[in-house]
Amino acid sequence: MARCAVQPRHRPSRHNVEASDPLPQADDANYLADELPQLTHLSLLGGVQGTLFGGRLDLTSNSLQVIDITKASKMLTFDSLDCPALREIRCRDFSFYGNGLMPAPPRAGLQDGWGLGWWHSRYRDDLTEDDLNLPCAFAKVMRSGRSGSLVELPEQCAVIWEVDEHRGQAGLGSSAVWATPTTTVADFLSRVDSGQLYGVAAFPRFPETAV
Amino acid sequence: MTFLRFSRDVAFSLATCSLSAATSGSDDMLDDSDAHDDATQPGGGGTAVARARARARRAAHRGAVAPWSAPCTLTPMAVVLERGRGQKRHLDGKRAHVTRGLAGGWTVVSLEDGGSVKWRTGHWQEEGAEPPAAKKTASEPAAALILSLADDQLRDIARQLDTPSVCSYLCASQRFAALEAGSCFGECHLRDGLPSGYGVAKCKQLAFARFLAAKHAKLHSLHVDMGRGDVTVLRLLLQECDTRELTTAQIRVEGARYGQMTRCSGVVIDWSTVHLDQSNPADTLLAEVGSEVKVDTKATITGVLAQFCPALRTLSLIYQGGDAEDVPSLGAIKSLHRLEVNLGEVCRPTSPQTLTPQC
């Protein structure tokens, strides 16, 4: 079992209690994950203009099983996860309005051409047989469109990218793409090719001459 | 107040007994000479009809005309009117004569000062009769028995009885029974878009919330849509109700100052002055509710949830256009298993260049 790289830390609660402030600001989900010993499902809300925009979650919890940020603002991502019981992370779609984690390219250099779109069909010629057999890795979402540093997950944890809500309503597919740390790149690409992934299958294939 | 559940057979037995008692009472009052007189009158229609007419006449004289009884002419009986409702309230205490019985439990009485009025049968006191206190004492055991029956059985009985005091008991018992565990009111729905047949009409939600608080209702789940100013109502609910087994709470706080509970409560809100922090009838209404909130009750939603809901497992706290303002108290609800909430991130980037992992 691939454990999280981040060792358990005993961090003090980061809410700043001041005598002059009757409602001290707490450090959001990180604080709650520390304080709630039985919390299994955590769903964060917030629109595109929400205050969680660009935030980074640093969660430590022995009980947390599901994290749902599909209704949270874009660019919300993870700094680290120390949740051994985690089995689901639900993120938004793969577009630039997405959040959470992204599949990291199997090796360096693949993201140079099109940012995080290394899985796009027009870049697959760069993938070798060894690349396709590698397990999926997950990186934090970056505003630059490139993948950030890797975030390790428990091997039973599935990262699920929801399809766009309007796309589902339009009958273009209602299921989501998912991957676990044990999913190979080849399997992940086959799921992408099944047309379930917003931002990839919806894009028309570029002609070879245009590349 | 506790309610014992009897079987339907027992209920109908009681109903039958009650009706039999009334009928037998009428029979006891029946004067054979009257029956004979009716039977001998022209067009009387025979002995059975004559006895029925005489029975109805005697029963009406005693104030127990059955609602299904046919209209009949009565011998004038001097009574003192009581329990008048609405525009007839001013007739309470006036002397009148019962002249004619109508269908549906109504009677025409002629007032001493002239004129006649339709009056509820039995809502009077015969002159020279025993005082009402003695009557009440005598009917208490029967009322206690009726209260111990289930609601549907009570309704069946109510259709057969015309005693107003019993109807009052029925209304009260139905409302109390609705607060029992497992009833629909165990789920407190004060929300938008809910059919009033299932939940509570918007215009009555605030009153219903206060009713639940007054009765210390036992809540199992809570679903409230409200405005920022309506937090007082939620504080009162959680303070007064029995929330020891409240496990699920869904609370949506609208961005507007007044939620549907206040907007639909009959107060006229002057929207031109709402944002000017001037005195408003809605504020007056909410202040009235707030006067019932104790001083030591927490001021925030999460605070009052942490204070009064020790078994809360699932919480959905949705702020439209805002974030949870009291996250430390949210962390104090140690029983939480599922949490859905808007959270305010301390790290608020101002530009793409300032996107750093931590502030």
d(CA A133, CA A19): 57
What is the DSSP annotation of B57-72? HHHHHTT---TTSPPE
Average pLDDT, chain B: 65
pLDDT in the model for residue B116: 85
pLDDT in the model for residue A139: 85
d(CA B155, CA B149): 10
DSSP H or E segment with residue B224: strand B221-226
Residues in contact with B106: Cβ distance below 8 Å, sequence separation at least 6, in sequence order = B118, B119, B120, B121
Q: Tell me whether residues A46 and B338 touch, CB distance under 8 A.
A: no
pLDDT, greater one: B334 or B169: B334
In chain B, how long is the greatest CA-to-CA distance? 110
CA distance A163 to chain B (A): 20
- Determine contact, residues B96/B81, Cβ cutoff 8 Å: yes
What is the DSSP annotation of A45-60? E--TTSTTTT-EEEEE
Q: Give the pLDDT confidence of B188-234 residue by residue, as tens digits.
A: 666 555 444 445 666 777 888 888 888 888 888 888 888 888 889 99
- Residue B56 structure tokens: 């109805």
pLDDT, average across residues A68-89: 87
Classify residue B316 by burial, with Cβ atoms within 10 Å: 0-12, 13-18, 19+: middle
Domain ranges of chain B: 31-126, 136-177, 184-341
Q: Tell me whether residues A40 and B338 touch, CB distance under 8 A.
A: yes
- Determine contact, residues B246/B220, Cβ cutoff 8 Å: yes
Which of A36, A43, A46 lies at the smallest CB-CB distance from B331?
A: A36
- Which of A20-29, B156-165, B169-178 is the most confident on average? B156-165
Q: Give the pLDDT confidence of B244-278 residue by residue, as tens digits.
A: 988 989 898 887 777 777 777 666 666 666 665 66
Q: Give the pLDDT confidence of B25-73 residue by residue, as tens digits.
A: 333 333 333 434 443 344 444 455 555 556 555 544 444 333 333 344 4
Work out the percent of chain A whose per-residue pLDDT is above 90. 17
Provide the whole-model pTM.
Answer: 0.58
Q: Where are the alpha helices (DSSP H) in chain B?
A: 8-29, 32-40, 47-61, 132-147, 151-160, 164-177, 202-214, 231-240, 260-263, 271-274, 281-290, 301-308, 327-330
Interface test with A, best of B301, B333, B346 (most A CBs within 10 A): B346
Reduced to 3 states (helix: H, G, I; strand: E, B; else coil), residue B341 is strand
Classify residue A152 by burial, with Cβ atoms within 10 Å: 0-12, 13-18, 19+: middle
Which of A36, A51, A79 lies at the smallest CB-CB distance from B357?
A: A79
Q: Give the pLDDT confidence of A165-208 residue by residue, as tens digits.
A: 555 444 444 456 788 999 999 988 887 777 555 444 433 333 33
Q: Tell me whether residues B345 and A28 touch, CB distance under 8 A.
A: yes
- Residue B33 structure tokens: 């000479």
Contact list, A24 vs chain B (CB under 8 Å) = 328
Residue of chain B whose alpha carbon sits nearest to that of A37: B334
Q: Give the pLDDT confidence of B303-318 residue by residue, as tens digits.
A: 999 999 999 999 999 8
pLDDT, greater one: A140 or A122: A140
- Determine contact, residues B81/B63, Cβ cutoff 8 Å: no
Q: Is the pLDDT of residue B125 over 80?
A: yes
pLDDT, average across residues A120-138: 84
Q: Tell me whether residues B343 and A29 touch, CB distance under 8 A.
A: yes
pLDDT, average across residues A85-96: 82
- Residue A183 structure tokens: 């999913």
Q: What is the ipTM of this complex?
A: 0.76
Q: Report the candidate in B175, B307, B177 with the shortest Cα–Cα distance to residue B236.
A: B307
Q: Tell me whether residues A143 and B355 touch, CB distance under 8 A.
A: yes
Q: Is the pLDDT of residue A19 over 70?
A: no
